[in-house]
């Protein structure tokens, strides 16, 4: 995952980590029920570290998403992972919104432009 071919904090990086976490959840479903006893603790720890690093690099220590993730996504359980996926998705949406709004703004002349 460290050889991701996209910019740090890009929507693609958020998507890749979301997919990685989603695969941990999807793999551990049996007729719609989570199978906690088969949950891959090592894979969860690896995913959690990468997701926390991404959120930290995106917003720093005071970032709401980073703080929520750090406090709420601690136990290697399906419920914790799903909460982490929701936080990542929300952060990704914010990154996308900022990217779109900055593209729009860069195409317009500034108010002080004569």
Domain boundaries along the sequence of the chain: 11-97
Pair 83, 58: CB distance under 8 Å: no
Q: How many Å apart are CA 35 and CA 104, to the nearest integer?
A: 46
Q: Which residue has the tokens 């703004």?
A: 105
pLDDT on residue 11? 86
pLDDT on residue 110? 43
pLDDT on residue 48? 96
The tokens describing 32, both together, are 């719609």
Q: How many Å apart are CA 30 and CA 26, to the nearest integer?
A: 9
Residue 28's Cβ-count burial label (10 Å; 0-12, 13-18, 19+) is: middle
pLDDT on residue 113? 40
Ranges of the chain with pLDDT below 70: 1-9, 26-39, 105-114
List the one residue out of 1, 11, 25, 26 whose CA is nearest residue 88: 11
pLDDT on residue 103? 73
């Amino acid at each position: 995952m460290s050889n991701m071919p996209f910019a740090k904090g890009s929507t693609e990086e958020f998507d890749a980590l979301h997919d990685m976490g989603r695969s941990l959840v999807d793999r551990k479903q049996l007729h719609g029920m989570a199978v906690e006893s088969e949950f891959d603790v090592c894979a969860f720890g690896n995913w959690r570290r990468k997701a926390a690093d991404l959120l930290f690099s995106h917003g720093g220590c005071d970032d709401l998403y980073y703080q929520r993730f750090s406090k709420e996504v601690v136990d290697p359980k399906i419920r914790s992972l799903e909460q982490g996926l929701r936080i990542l998705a929300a952060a990704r949406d914010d990154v996308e919104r900022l990217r779109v709004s900055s593209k729009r703004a860069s195409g317009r002349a500034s108010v002080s432009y004569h």
